Amino acid sequence: MGEIRDMMGTFELFQPMELEGALDLLRAHGSDAWVLSGGMDTFDWLKDRAKSPRVVVDLGSIEELKGIEANGDGIRIGAMAKVSEVATHPEILARFPVLAQAAEKVATPQIRNQGTLGGNLCQDTRCWYYRSGWPCYRAGGNICYANAPNSLNREHCIFEANRCVAVSPSDTAPALIALEAEMEIQSVRGMQRVSAEEFFIGPGTDITRMTVLQPSDLLTGIHIPGTWAGRPSYFEKVADRKAWDFALVNVASTLDVREGVIYEARIVVGGVAARPLRMHRVENAIAGRPINDETLEEAARQAVQGARPLRFNDFKIALTRNLVKRSIREARA
């Protein structure tokens, strides 16, 4: 059979006006259905015909999925809020700048205006072997093309390799984990909330998915509690280019510093594992210590404990070390 790429196939398009309608459609079509939010991940897949869903459910007309509003001492962000809205929202800028900074680093202005926060969180990995439609583990096959002796794996993982070595591409996910956010998930079974940290899963849990979402589930909103509002935080993304690029490694941190001593910290690194990785060991090691060179060195040591580079990504060890140090050293309220 001849192969066509970079040319979208045909599908049946549904544009429900209400959440209920979307959930009904997802239930009716099961794994034949594809959820479309901003399309920034979707259209890449569909144009490459590496995924050819029969049915596409476009969430773009559902008002209740949009908007950013106060919720107790925190905020709720609709999953369909544009990344650019998140980056420029006054309350997010004032109280949760680490999220605004992360959103500001996503892709390009055009993509931020089109892409949604929910989409940025639910997007699939960018492993080029997988996205080119190769029958790898993640695609249901029984090989990892990125982890052969000569494979091109500069962008791949240094932690939690488990048959698959792909990494989490999201810039906003580490920030939300650092802020102790919760994901609001709706399905025909009802609504549930899952911590951002548990929302993302590695290949050990399910090699075909990046999140806990099942085919008929929808991420409808993101809740950020007031816990970390106004506390020192830090976000940084290292990529080849300053725009239109995925992170080689990114880092987000929130710190509770009392009288010069770290009382509690949340440090999350993206681009190093299939899920954004919370650095529990670093957090434990620095708790109760002042921010000084010794603490930073200890943090750097702990950050890469157990890291295993692939052929072309040794630099991620040094980069993770340096970024984790920086996320503590440079954190500002």
Partner 1 sequence: MAAYRLIGTNQTPKDLRAKITGRAKYSEDFKADGMLFAKVLLSPVPHGRVSRLDVDRALAMEGVHAVITADDVPEVSGAAEPILTNEPVYQGQPIAAVAAVDETTAANAVEALNLQMQPLEFVLDPIDSLRPGGPNARPEGNVIVDGDLTEFKWTSEEVELMEGDTFPEDIRVTDEWSHGDLEAAFAESDLIIERPLVYQSQSHHPLEPRTAMAYWQNGKLYLHCSVQSTARTRPAVASSLQMEEEDVIIIGEYCGGGFGSKIAGTVTDRIPAILSRLAGRPVMMRVTRDEETYFGRARPGLQGWAKLGFRSDGRLLASDTIMIQDGGPFGRSGDFNSAGGYISLTYQPRAQRHRGIPVHTNTPPKSAQRAPGAVQALTMVGPLVDQAARELGVDRVDILEINSPPMGAVYYTPDETPLTSSFAREAIQRGREMFGWEQKRELSGQVNGSKVTGVGMSFSPYAAGSSGFDGLLVIRPNGRVTIHSGVGNLGTHSVFDTCMAAAEVLGVPWEEVEVVWGDTSKGLPWSSVQGGSQTTHAHTRANWAAGHDAKQKLQEIAAQDLGGSPDAYDVDGARVFQTGNPSVGMTFAQAAQRAIELGGRYDGSEPSDELHEMTVEAIRNNLVGEGLVGAATDTYSHEGATRSSMITFMVVEVDRETGMVEIKECLSVADCGTVLHPRSLAAQVHGGVLQGMSGARFEHWKYDPRWGINANKRLYTAKPMTILDIPESFEFEAVDLPDPETPVGSKGIGEPPVAAGSVAVITAISDALGGIYLGRTPITPDRILNALEGGTPGYRALQTHV
Size of the site for partner 1 (CB under 8 A): 44
| 308 touching partner 1, by CB under 8 A | no
Work out which of 15, 71, 227, 322 binds partner 1, going by CB under 8 A: 322
- Give the span between the Cα atoms of 118 and 115, in whole angstroms: 9
Looking only at residues 49 through 108 of this chain, which bind partner 1 when binding is defined by CB under 8 A?
108
- Give the span between the Cα atoms of 71 and 93, in whole angstroms: 16
Tokens 């079974």 — which residue?
189
| 151 touching partner 1, by CB under 8 A | yes
Helix (H, G, I), strand (E, B) or coil at 78: strand
Instruction: Report strand pairing: 33-36 vs 55-58.
Output: parallel
| 13 touching partner 1, by CB under 8 A | no
When the beta carbons of 76 and 112 are compared against partner 1, the nearer one is 112
Work out which of 24, 128, 281, 298 binds partner 1, going by CB under 8 A: 128
Instruction: Tell me the closest approach of the beta carbon of residue 110 to partner 1, in angstroms.
Output: 12
Token pair recorded at residue 21: 């309608």
∠ Cα 253 258 262 (to 5°): 45
Token pair recorded at residue 264: 């509690």
When the beta carbons of 66 and 301 are compared against partner 1, the nearer one is 301
| 143 touching partner 1, by CB under 8 A | no
∠ Cα 298 300 305 (to 5°): 95
| 132 touching partner 1, by CB under 8 A | yes
When the beta carbons of 25 and 248 are compared against partner 1, the nearer one is 248
| 154 touching partner 1, by CB under 8 A | yes
Instruction: Tell me the closest approach of the beta carbon of residue 157 to partner 1, in angstroms.
Output: 14
When the beta carbons of 23 and 103 are compared against partner 1, the nearer one is 103
Which one of 86-94, 266-274, 288-296, 306-314 is the stretch in contact with partner 1 (CB under 8 A)?
306-314
Instruction: Tell me the closest approach of the beta carbon of residue 244 to partner 1, in angstroms.
Output: 5
Looking only at residues 38 through 57 of this chain, which bind partner 1 when binding is defined by CB under 8 A?
44
Long-range contacts of residues 208-213, Cβ cutoff 8 Å, at least 24 apart: 208/138, 208/139, 208/140, 210/122, 210/123, 210/124, 210/125, 210/168, 210/274, 210/275, 211/121, 211/122, 212/185, 213/122, 213/185
* DSSP of 164-220: B------SHHHHHHHTT-EEEEEETTEEEEEEHHHHB--TTT-TT-SBS--TT-EEE
| 315 touching partner 1, by CB under 8 A | yes
| 2 touching partner 1, by CB under 8 A | yes
Specify the amino acid at residue 226.
G
∠ Cα 313 317 294 (to 5°): 170
When the beta carbons of 134 and 215 are compared against partner 1, the nearer one is 134
Residues 6+ apart with CB under 8 A from 214: 187
| 194 touching partner 1, by CB under 8 A | no
When the beta carbons of 110 and 192 are compared against partner 1, the nearer one is 110
Closest CA to 227 of 181, 173, 279: 181
What letter would DSSP give residue 99? H
∠ Cα 314 307 285 (to 5°): 125
| 11 touching partner 1, by CB under 8 A | no
Looking only at residues 218 through 277 of this chain, which bind partner 1 when binding is defined by CB under 8 A?
236, 238-245, 248
Instruction: Tell me the closest approach of the beta carbon of residue 158 to partner 1, in angstroms.
Output: 12
When the beta carbons of 66 and 326 are compared against partner 1, the nearer one is 326
Site for partner 1, rule CB under 8 A: 1-7, 9-10, 44, 108, 128-129, 132, 145, 148, 150-152, 154, 236, 238-245, 248, 309, 311-319, 322-323, 325-326
